């Protein structure tokens, strides 16, 4: 199964209260997961990577085989593509985790998009920060999982 992922991360104060937004849909655009993940005090870049890691974990749980991901973080996209080195010691473990998960799929791509193309994930970030807790859907069961 192919999934499309939109991720975002943000921190108010950088570092400050931080969250990640995750939107996962299947090939026909049906939402499989939409969530905001509150991560507490962190930087914007930690929040962006956390979003990527959590989204890839969710895609694996959904048994996705192909992932087309989009982020408005140029840093994350270029580091994952090997164009930028990961120098920040706090980002290295998240980068390694994201790299590990990305290799679990038959195909994986991560593309930079302008912020206005990432509105839903951005909204989920802000809602999670405002609530100071995780918000949104967990994995949405597929028809064959519902009883």
Q: Is the residue at 140 inside a domain?
A: no
pLDDT recorded at residue 144: 44
Residue 15 is encoded by which pair of tokens? Answer: 């570092």
Per-residue pLDDT reduced to its tens digit, 84-124: 999 999 999 999 999 999 999 999 999 999 999 999 999 99
pLDDT recorded at residue 100: 98
Whether residue 143 has pLDDT greater than 70:
no
| The residue count for the chain | 147
Q: Is the residue at 8 inside a domain?
A: yes
Which pLDDT band, with edges at 50, 70 and 90, does 17 fall under?
very high
Which pLDDT band, with edges at 50, 70 and 90, does 138 fall under?
low
Q: Is the residue at 108 inside a domain?
A: yes
Per-residue pLDDT reduced to its tens digit, 33-62: 999 999 999 999 999 999 999 999 999 999
In the chain, the DSSP E strands lie at: 2-11, 16-26, 31-42, 66-71, 107-112, 135-136
Interval 22-32 mean pLDDT: 93
Task: Provide the whole-model pTM.
Answer: 0.91
Contacts of 132 (CB under 8 A, 6+ apart): 17, 38
**Residue where the block lists tokens 């996209």:** 77
User: What's the DSSP call for residue 137?
Assistant: -
The domain of 121 spans 2-135
CATH of the domain at 22: 3.30.420.10
Give the pairing type, strands 31-42 and 16-26. Answer: antiparallel
Q: Is the residue at 144 inside a domain?
A: no
Residue 71 main-chain phi, psi, to 5 deg: -145, 150
Whether residue 146 has pLDDT greater than 70:
no
């Amino acid at each position: 199964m192919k999934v499309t992922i939109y991720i975002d991360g943000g921190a108010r104060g950088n570092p400050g209260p931080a969250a990640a937004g995750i939107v996962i849909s299947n090939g026909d655009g049906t939402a499989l997961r939409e969530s905001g993940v509150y991560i507490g005090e962190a930087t914007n870049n930690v929040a962006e990577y956390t979003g990527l890691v959590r989204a890839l974990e969710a895609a694996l749980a959904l048994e996705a085989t192909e992932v087309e991901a989009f982020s408005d973080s140029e840093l994350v996209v270029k580091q994952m593509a090997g164009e930028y080195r990961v120098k920040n010691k706090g980002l290295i473990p998240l980068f390694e985790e994201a790299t590990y998960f990305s290799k679990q799929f038959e195909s994986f791509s991560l593309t930079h998009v302008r912020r206005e193309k990432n509105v839903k994930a951005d909204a989920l970030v802000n809602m999670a920060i405002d609530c100071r807790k995780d918000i949104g859907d967990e994995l949405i069961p597929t028809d064959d999982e519902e009883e």
